[in-house]
Amino acid sequence: MQLHPGMPAPDFTLYDTEKNQVTLSSFRGKQVILLFFPMAFTGVCTKELCSVRDGIAVYNNANAVVLGISVDSPFTLAKFKEIEQLNFPLLSDFNKEVSTAYGAIYDNFIGWMKGVSKRAAFVIDANGIIQYAEVLENAGELPNFNAIQQTLAA
């Protein structure tokens, strides 16, 4: 199912890099940016998440929380977060349930990997409603961060 602005965001609970449970609905009252990404330690994913790291003040000033999500294990994500000094939570969707619920999963990735998260961005408002949705088919493209920031400001 494809998610669109105006729809309620599917709630979920995933584990972060410290193996703590993180539930989307616990952020009610704040805007949330969900950034699905294919795989830690890959070039485009590193570029994307490091650009968010470097511009985190923009999101903090908009009373927004950034959550990065991939199907990597919490252990892989912890090492990636440490090496890249990422300043926002990374969540493991190892069982692929959340990526699937958000329509952000490849059946086949680079020909032989199954069930890898697509690069996608969602902005969820303080009431849990999707305000922005972008799911990219080409993993080499980046989300439209200008549109994300405009959505946060609206």
Residue-wise pLDDT tens digits, 94-134: 999 999 999 999 877 777 777 889 999 999 999 999 999 99
Q: Do the strands 31-36 and 64-70 form a parallel or antiparallel pair, or are they unpaired?
A: parallel
Q: What is the mean pLDDT of residues 45-61?
A: 95
Tell me the per-residue pLDDT of 12-44, one tens digit each, with 9 for 90 and over.
999 999 999 999 999 999 999 999 999 999 989
CA neighbor of 132 nearest in space, from 119, 143, 121, 142 = 121
What does 93-117 look like in DSSP terms, one character per residue? Answer: -TT-HHHHHTT-EESSBTTTB-SEE
Please check whether residue 143 is in contact with residue 151, taking contact to mean a CB–CB distance below 8 angstroms.
Answer: no
Q: Give me the architecture of the 13-153 domain, per CATH.
A: 3-Layer(aba) Sandwich (3.40)
**pLDDT tier at 8, thresholds 50, 70, 90:** very high
pLDDT at 51 over 80: yes
- Percent of the chain scored above 70 by pLDDT? 99
Task: Provide the annotated active-site residues.
Answer: 45
The pLDDT of residue 1: 65
Burial label, 69 (beta-carbon count in 10 A; 0-12, 13-18, 19+): buried
User: Would you put residue 61 in left (φ > 0), alpha (ψ -120 to 50) or beta?
Assistant: alpha
The pLDDT of residue 108: 73
What is the average pLDDT score of the chain? 94
**pTM > 0.85:** yes
DSSP letter assigned to residue 26: G
Rounded distance between C-alpha atoms, residue 86 and residue 49, angstroms: 7
Burial label, 153 (beta-carbon count in 10 A; 0-12, 13-18, 19+): exposed
The pLDDT of residue 112: 73
